[in-house]
């Protein structure tokens, strides 16, 4: 699937380890990766880079993942961009709150390579 291979993916996480891990796994699959440390930095980069898919950590300083997702989905230009929440919490409440703000999927950290790439392939196929 040529379009997905060249897709630009954003990873928003305040953990440098998570950003680097996701970036390495995605780059090995041929994706272009843009990273951001928090929601504010991400919002500026989304406008510049127009990612095809966005991974966002829930627990971040300043602007958390729920707030960032809600802002992304509220913008008509990016409302159809898949947003996948990343969290170390696997509770029903957290998953439900992610759905309420418009997230398309919820991955629990630590994620595996297969979970990460599988989520990308699923959402870029739509």
Q: What is the maximum alpha-carbon separation in the chain?
A: 37
Total domain count for the chain? 1
Domain CATH number, residue 34: 3.40.50.2300
- Whether 125 is covered by a domain: the verdict is no
Per-residue pLDDT of the chain (126 residues; tens, 9 = 90+): 334 447 999 999 999 999 999 999 999 999 999 999 999 999 999 999 999 999 999 999 989 999 999 999 999 999 999 999 999 988 899 999 999 999 999 999 999 999 999 999 999 986
d(CA 53, CA 34): 10
d(CA 19, CA 35): 7
The residue segments making up the domain with residue 56 are 2-111
- What local confidence, expressed as pLDDT, does residue 6 receive? 75
Give the list of residues 6+ apart from residue 47 with CB closer than 8 angstroms, or none.
Answer: none
């Amino acid at each position: 699937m040529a379009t997905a291979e060249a897709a630009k993916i954003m990873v928003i996480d305040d953990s440098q380890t998570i950003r680097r891990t996701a970036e390495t796994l995605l780059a090995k699959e041929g994706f272009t990766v843009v990273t951001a440390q928090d929601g504010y930095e991400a919002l500026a980069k989304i406008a510049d880079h127009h990612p095809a898919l966005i991974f966002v950590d829930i627990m971040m300083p300043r602007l958390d993942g729920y707030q960032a997702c809600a802002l992304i989905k509220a913008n008509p230009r990016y409302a159809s961009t898949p947003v996948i929440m990343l969290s170390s919490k696997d509770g029903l409440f957290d998953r439900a709150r992610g759905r309420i703000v418009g997230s398309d999927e919820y991955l629990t950290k630590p994620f595996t390579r297969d979970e990460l790439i599988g989520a990308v392939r699923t959402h870029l196929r739509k």
